[in-house]
Amino acid sequence: MAVAASPLSSPPSKPSLSPRPASDHRFTVAVIGNPNTGKTTLFNALTGLTQHTGNYPGVTVESALGEFTVEGSRFLAVDLPGTYSLAPRSPDELIAVHVLLGRSAGGTAPDVVLYVLDATNLDRNLYLLTQVIDVGRPVVVALTMTDLARKQGIVIDVAELEKRLGVPVVPVQPHRRVGLAALRRALGQAARHAPQLVQPIRFPEVFTREVDTLIQTLPHTNGQSSLPRFLVERLLIDAGGSIETELTQQLGDTVRTQACAARARLAAADAPVPQIEVDSRYHWIAQVVEATVRQPLTAGQSWTDRIDQVVTHKVWGLVVFLVVMAMTFQAIFSWAVPLMDGIDALFKAIGTQVGSLLPDGPLRSLVVDGLLGGVGAVVVFVPQIAVLFGLIALLEDSGYMARAAFLMDRVMASFGLSGRSFIPLLSSFACAVPGIMATRTIDNRRDRIATILIAPLMSCSARLPVYVLLISAFIPPRTVGGIVGLQGLTLFALYLIGLIVAPPIAWALKRTILRGEPVPFLLELPPFKVPAWRVVLFRMYDRSWAFLRRAGTIILATTVLVWAL
């Protein structure tokens, strides 16, 4: 992508700059954007190995947190769930709104919002950005996918885009670490000086008057003179949405009564909601794209389209999916076993050496058989955990995982679920806990509950060591047809059992206690791309360390306890 020159290191000046605290203060950065925009890759590049996990205040949804430093100031980055809109329909979208407004339990609004903007899909990505700017927090835009845009012949005038948005825009390539220094400087300046933003979208005057009236007449929570304007706008636009339900529970039925009356007046004035928001935002977005983006008039069939003709085919796509899954489990044995044998031999050698230095007795037995034996029993499975998560990261980062969800929608629809349930169920192969947490992206409550109930049927990584021991003991290490290892095939079959048993249970649930109307499945298929090895390696490290920290401590303690008995 050819990018017009722009003073990225010094974003355009904004009115009403007010100094912020000294450099020893820890600022908070909320990272938000549409799914498949490179948000997590950018988050990883900014925070590196300082990441840790926690829960959003007041809810049991895991969040990714990380730290970085800009000119002596410490920043805490919070990776918000990917979303297409701040009209909350699912728990993760509601979390994003609460965090941005500082309404989460015990939380405060972020000092700056980092918005991740996909250069190849500017018109769609700008919709959420306009909503984020309306919240009123300082915003910095990271323009990602610039290399893909360049290959597609897309040219973006960054200086004009900054002018139209009223916020700094920094082109970045996180996987190559290009533009990160300029992005950090922009974040530092926005956090310290808190520029006052001008809302880019102008709603019709009749809508603005209704919002002003609601702000003045609605009851408000303790400690606030009135409800935030953005929250009232969302209340008015999203009829029957999460904001209306929550405010009604907190402030009483007068919230719903006044909102319904305001919507009726807007409809009578030929300005119905939510159409008024869609028309206003996309009218402005069309003007911005026309002024800032140049792209080829015609585009031929891309290599992603050619691959999709095969991998999303109703027959060949399923064949490819089964082959990919079988190769994944085959690789767990083929690639990990040599490393496991090496680790096992290493700990045996260490045990022999340490045993020769200690006299016979309880202490020698504790150190050699208890501690070293326990540590070895944990570490020996790290290669398989690393290989499993590395392969999953490759599939996710390449773009294939979205195709797998699309394929599974056809299968799962016959059991009352949708492709939205596939990713949580696949995550449950690693661990049922994050798999259950991932169900927050499922809008339909009945589908979400059904997915939660069948997620534990998937074979998680904690069962992998048990499977490996049993397979190694009872399945001979020979090949089938001279190509596929029998042990890897057996492991694949064990994992396949969960996939076979879960759908009938989901079918029974959706036709009895969770009966309801089916919900259409909408899915964006990102372009195929070469996985970023930095992302894959970090995922392998992060998940392996989590295994050692969580499961490893339990296994070690159990081993020592068994020795003591």
Strand partners, 3: 156
The pLDDT value recorded for residue 411 is 80
Summarised one tens digit per residue, pLDDT across range 139-196 is: 999 999 988 888 888 999 999 999 999 999 999 998 888 999 999 999 999 988 877 6
Largest Cα–Cα separation, the chain: 92
- Other Cβ atoms within 10 Å of 201 Cβ, number: 14
* C-alpha R_g of the chain: 27
What proportion of the chain, given as a percentage, has pLDDT over 90?
A: 19
| Residue from 143, 236, 220 nearest 183 by CA | 143
CB 323: neighbour CB atoms within 10 A? 10
Question: Are 330 and 492 in contact, with CB atoms under 8 Å apart?
Answer: yes
Does the pLDDT at position 447 exceed 90?
Answer: no
Q: How many C-alpha atoms does 10 have within 13 Å on its Cβ side?
A: 1
Q: What is the DSSP letter of 200?
A: S
* Phi, psi angle pair for 415, to nearest 5°: -110, 10
Return d(Cα 149, Cα 296) in angstroms, integer.
11
Query: How many Cβ atoms from other residues are within 10 Å of residue 26's Cβ?
Result: 12
Long-range contacts at 470-477 (CB < 8 A, ≥ 24 apart)? none
Residue 102: the pLDDT is 80
pLDDT of residue 200 exceeding 70: yes
| Beta strands 139-144; 112-118: pairing state | parallel
Contact assessment for residue 175 and residue 534, using Cβ atoms and an 8 Å cutoff: yes
Cβ atoms 563, 369 nearer than 8 A: yes
Could you tell me if 100 and 86 are in contact, meaning their C-beta atoms sit under 8 angstroms apart?
Answer: yes
- Tell me the C-alpha distance between 268 and 180, whole Å: 50
pLDDT of residue 7: 32
- Given a cut of 60, is residue 222 above it in pLDDT? no
- Tell which wins on pLDDT, 330 or 215: 215
CB 211 within 8 A of CB 232: yes
Query: Tens digit of pLDDT for each residue in 535-559?
Result: 788 878 877 887 777 766 777 777 7
**CB atoms closer than 10 angstroms to residue 298:** 4
- Across the range 17-46, mean pLDDT stands at 75
Is residue 48 over pLDDT 90? no
Query: Span 484-502, mean pLDDT?
Result: 84
User: What is the reported pLDDT for 285?
Assistant: 94
Q: What is the four-CA torsion angle of 514, 515, 520, 526, rounded to 10 degrees?
A: 20
- Listed by start position, the domains of the chain span 26-193, 205-270, 317-515+530-564
Which carries the bigger pLDDT value, residue 3 or residue 442? Answer: 442
Please say whether the beta carbons of 183 and 140 come within 8 A.
yes
The alpha carbon dihedral of 508, 425, 413, 85 has a sign of positive
In the predicted model, what is the mean pLDDT of residues 405-415? 82
pLDDT of residue 15: 31
Alpha helices for 269-365 (secondary structure H): 275-292, 303-311, 316-357, 362-365
Q: Pick from 366, 342, 343: which is nearest to 354 by CA?
A: 366
Residue 461, pLDDT above cutoff 70 = no
Which DSSP string corresponds to 327-338?
HHHHHHHHHHHH
> H/E element holding 565?
none
Q: Which residues of 419-428 are buried (b: 16+ CB within 10 A; e: fewer)?
A: bbbbbbbbbb
CA distance 29 to 67: 9
Q: What is the mean pLDDT of residues 460-465?
A: 73
CA distance 507 to 346: 49
How much is the average pLDDT of 336-347? 84
Mean pLDDT for all residues in the chain: 81
Q: What is the CATH number of domain 26-193?
A: 3.40.50.300
Average pLDDT over residues 64-68: 85
Alpha helices in 21-121 (DSSP H): 39-47, 91-101
Confidence class of residue 1 from pLDDT cuts 50, 70 and 90?
very low
Predicted confidence at residue 97, as pLDDT, reads 81
Q: What is the pLDDT of residues 81-132, one digit of tens each?
A: 888 888 877 777 778 888 888 876 556 789 999 999 999 989 899 999 999 9
Q: At residue 450, does pLDDT exceed 70?
A: yes
Please give the sequence-ordered ranges of beta strands (E in DSSP) within 358-409, or none if there are none.
Answer: none
Question: What's the confidence (pLDDT) of residue 53?
Answer: 46
Mean pLDDT of 341-348: 86
This prediction's pTM: 0.73
* pLDDT at res. 392: 80
Q: What pLDDT sits at residue 87? A: 83
pLDDT for position 398: 86
pLDDT at 334: 75
